[in-house]
Each structure stands twice: as structure tokens, then as C-alpha cells.
Amino acid sequence: MAPTYDVSVNYNSAITPGKGLKIGVLALQGDVREHLKALADCGATAVSVRRPSELAAVDGLIIPGGESTTMDKLSRIFGLREPLRERIQAGLPVYGSCAGMILLANEIADPATDLAGNPQQTLGGLDVTVRRNAFGRQVDSFETELDFTALAPAGQAETPMHAVFIRAPWVERVGAGVQVLASVKLPEAGQNDRIDFEVRAVAVRSRHLLATSFHPEVTGERRIHELFIRMIRGEA
């Protein structure tokens, strides 16, 4: 059985945007537990997804941060790659964080290659080009305040979001129908020679797909998860 989180633990019962929803976190590798906790804090039934049968039972899915190449390989081993692609194409709401953004992208500017020289594959669905580890190595990780479009529910004021970037990708190209929700102005983002004076997109959305370069699950920030829940409900 896939584990679920008890939403009565460390949870404010007055705030239940996710009540009645079953939302999965792809549990092949990465920040699985942190996203499960974030979903539970929002009132959703949060479950790990490792099998096609578990994927078929969720209202939405989060692909967490981690190693995109490892997730790609494990998705094949667990028989999840094609079911994931099919559900994404069929309109399943999916949120990808960091490595999850890479896996949702249609194109990678600098894909990793296997021993035979074959470039890594993505699940696709999001018409963007991303660059892996774009902000630099682990030592170049940074935190910043972001202006995030359409984050607050209707009628509420938008406020900046504190974002943590860890070996993060950025978006170099957005296709038609892709909305940029947040960007980082460079070189304020970091202090390495890969950064120039351009602005890079770090949060994007296209219909039922949402992706961020950063990790809201590690800071206790819940507004991204709440936005994703509104997307699942058709309220955003």
C-alpha cells in the first residue's frame, strides 16, 4: 500500500483547500516526503506513486526535485514512463519542482547522456526549453524574493515569495500558451560565470501543467501547493 499522511498532524483544520482531493507525489527519488507533508498541510490526501495503479487513482501529481536522469531511468524500471506520458497528455494536473520541471519540459538545452551517448528523455507536455543546473553547482545555491503572478486567490493581494534554488534549472524558451509566472533578474541570482545580465523564467504554467525551478517544499511555503490545488479544482 502507498503511504498516506495523517492530515491531523501539525495541521490547521481551518484551512482545507485540498479537502476531498487525492494527490500523488512521484516517489521514485527526490523530495518526496517534503511534498507529501506540504499536501497534507493543505488538507489533501497525499499518497506516494510508484506503480501505474497508484497513478491511475490520483486527481493530480507532483514530480519532486531530485535527479532528473535517475527519475527517468526509474520510471522505465517501474513501468511508469508511458502511463505518466499518457495521463499528462490526457490532462492530468501535474506540478514539477526543479527536476520535475526538467521532466515536464519538451526540450532540454543540455541533456545528460548515457554510456551509449543517448540524450536523456523527458515526459514532456510543457512547451519550454530548460537548462539543467543553470545557476551553477551546489555551492552556488541561493535564496531570493520573487514576484509571482497569479499566486494569490481572486480578490487577495499578491505578496513576494521566498524561494530557494538548489542546482536549479531555468527556462530559456517558452512556447505559445505558456505563461511565465516568476522570473529572476541576473546576475543578482548568484555569483558564478554562467550568469549574465538577462532575466530567466523560473516558474511557468501551461493549462494543467505547473513548474518551478525552486523548492517551495523546503521552506514551509504552501502557496504553490495551494495554487496547484486550485488548478486541480478548476479554480485557477
Active-site positions read: 98, 215, 217
Which grid coordinates are listed for 228?
496547484
Angle at 51 between CA 4 and CA 55, to 5 degrees: 70
Angle at 183 between CA 143 and CA 139, to 5 degrees: 30
SS3 177: coil
Contacts of 162 (CB under 8 A, 6+ apart): 143, 144, 145, 146, 219, 221
Contacts of 90 (CB under 8 A, 6+ apart): none
Q: How far apart are CA 167 and CA 65, in angstroms?
A: 10
